[in-house]
Chains A and B, each alone.
Chain A
């Protein structure tokens, strides 16, 4: 099977000698929902920029469904739809015109482009705004406009750079729903994101990039499996002066009413409650500490940095 996206040893050094990518290799299979995670400045946007030819690579190879972006650029570009991080449409043009024109740039006859533009404007809830100049749209609408524009030529690979940045929760959920839908219909989706829950909820495979290198490239499942510890926060009645001592657990005092306990996967919670009851604590509520994925992410990035500095 041909990979939807194949990147080999991609390097980019900018004019100021900043080495943004130090040999990135990556393969995304057709039909996948793939996340590229990484801190700011890690090289995510540079990678995407090279794939869609807005950034000139220093060396390496990129193929989209087997079409090399250098030697077979027209076919490669036909397969790609791009939703960039920042708004990049004319503020003065009307919503429908923007999508329609994009179809024209891909060589679609006007009638066909019009049909597709209308289809995606409706799907993305922009139909009522079709004659509005783009600058009048809300932030969320602008982002959806860019998705409609990227889909007008119905590419087999859709790349989204931080698609839900600055989008409210409700809209984010509906965008997720939409992306799941087109992925189920066969579109390969690659997204970069800061929201780790977004990657967790949507993506099957993930690459973590830091300092221009791939730190991890694995399935979301096996990444989550590494989360062998969970942290629970307990709220108790009365004044809590210090954290209780619980054998076999790491316990941290938070404030007068709460403390957190680290629990290993598979460990029973019953004895925890029993022990706390025995010590006279009255537990009012208990919750999972959020962003466990975030902690894993931080630890992965930190360990790769430690390796690098150790190696140096």
Chain B
């Protein structure tokens, strides 16, 4: 397939994906905005005013980057996992599999769709946050690149989950039992400096912690001692997931009989 034809195929998939989550915006775009507003009111405003500071930052300021990150990663993940699984379930994925569209374009297309939703939700949540606090950005390049990489990382993870999933249960197992705990324990609501040494060490193994810390550093300019490692790690792991996703498509696992 020629390069401009590949571009057409890619934009077709992305357009379809954006159309899909926009059509069901009540299920996709609205809930994170409502949930995050509640978090801002309850944790940021009400409880936060009593917490005082976290790592020297007002609690509201501390919690905003974490909540933006949390909504971006969950939405990127769930967009790809549900869209790709439902295409598999309804067999409409065959439309792409019989076409000359290369595997890499299929993967990029679905991930771009997940990123579009993740980042759109991120923007909406940021807009809501502005009602509660001022937001300053310490480093735009770092903030933007971390959020884009995180969104891509979780889109890829959602894709791999969808390829392996056989039932609708299978697409909620990872978000419920892995993603949510890791996110809640990933320094969104608290600094791991509050934990005993042992649990600080354990927390370091949680990749989401590093993504959240790097993003928070990008916005607030505080707590950035590991930001370079976080950045490199994120690039490496995103590369690994990309290779896995592409391999799954190439081998036809769970997609071609």
Interface segment out of the listed B32-40, B97-105, B138-146 = B97-105
CB contact under 8 A between A53 and B98, given known A74-B1, A107-B2: yes
Interface segment out of the listed A84-92, A221-229, A281-289, A292-300 = A84-92
A97 — which chain B residues lie within 8 A by C-beta? 16, 19
CB contact under 8 A between A107 and B9, given known A54-B98, A89-B95: yes
Classify chain B: how many residues form its interface, as a range: 20 to 34
- 1/0 per residue, CB under 8 A from B, across A30-43: the answer is 00000000000000
Chain B residue with minimal CB distance to A103?
B12
Q: Confirm or deny: A78 has a beta carbon within 8 angstroms of a beta carbon on chain B.
A: yes
Q: How far is the CB of B127 from chain A (nearest CB, A)?
A: 29
B97–A53 contact, CB under 8 A? Answer: yes
Interface residues of A in 45-92 (CB under 8 A from B): 49, 52-56, 73-75, 77-78, 80, 82, 84, 86-92
Interface segment out of the listed B47-55, B84-92, B182-190 = B84-92
Classify chain A: how many residues form its interface, as a range: 35 or more
Q: Confirm or deny: A14 has a beta carbon within 8 angstroms of a beta carbon on chain B.
A: yes
Q: Confirm or deny: A276 has a beta carbon within 8 angstroms of a beta carbon on chain B.
A: no
A56–B16 contact, CB under 8 A? Answer: no
B256–A55 contact, CB under 8 A? Answer: yes
Residue in A87, A90, A105 with the greatest tally of chain B CB atoms within 10 Å: A105
A88–B95 contact, CB under 8 A? Answer: yes
B23 — which chain A residues lie within 8 A by C-beta? 92
A82 — which chain B residues lie within 8 A by C-beta? 98
Q: How far is the CB of A91 from chain B (nearest CB, A)?
A: 6
B257–A54 contact, CB under 8 A? Answer: yes
Q: In the complex, A217→B1 CA distance in Å?
A: 34
Q: Confirm or deny: B8 has a beta carbon within 8 angstroms of a beta carbon on chain A.
A: yes
Q: How far is the CB of B36 from chain A (nearest CB, A)?
A: 27
Q: In the complex, A74→B16 CA distance in Å?
A: 22
A91 — which chain B residues lie within 8 A by C-beta? 90
Q: In the complex, A49→B255 CA distance in Å?
A: 12
Q: In the complex, A134→B16 CA distance in Å?
A: 15
Q: In the complex, A109→B99 CA distance in Å?
A: 15
Instruction: Please pick, from A87, A105, A149, the residue contacting B101 in the complex, using a CB distance under 8 A.
Output: A105
A86–B91 contact, CB under 8 A? Answer: yes
Q: In the complex, A40→B102 CA distance in Å?
A: 33
Give me the 5 closest cross-chain CB pairs, A-B, nearest first.
A107-B5, A104-B12, A105-B99, A88-B91, A74-B100
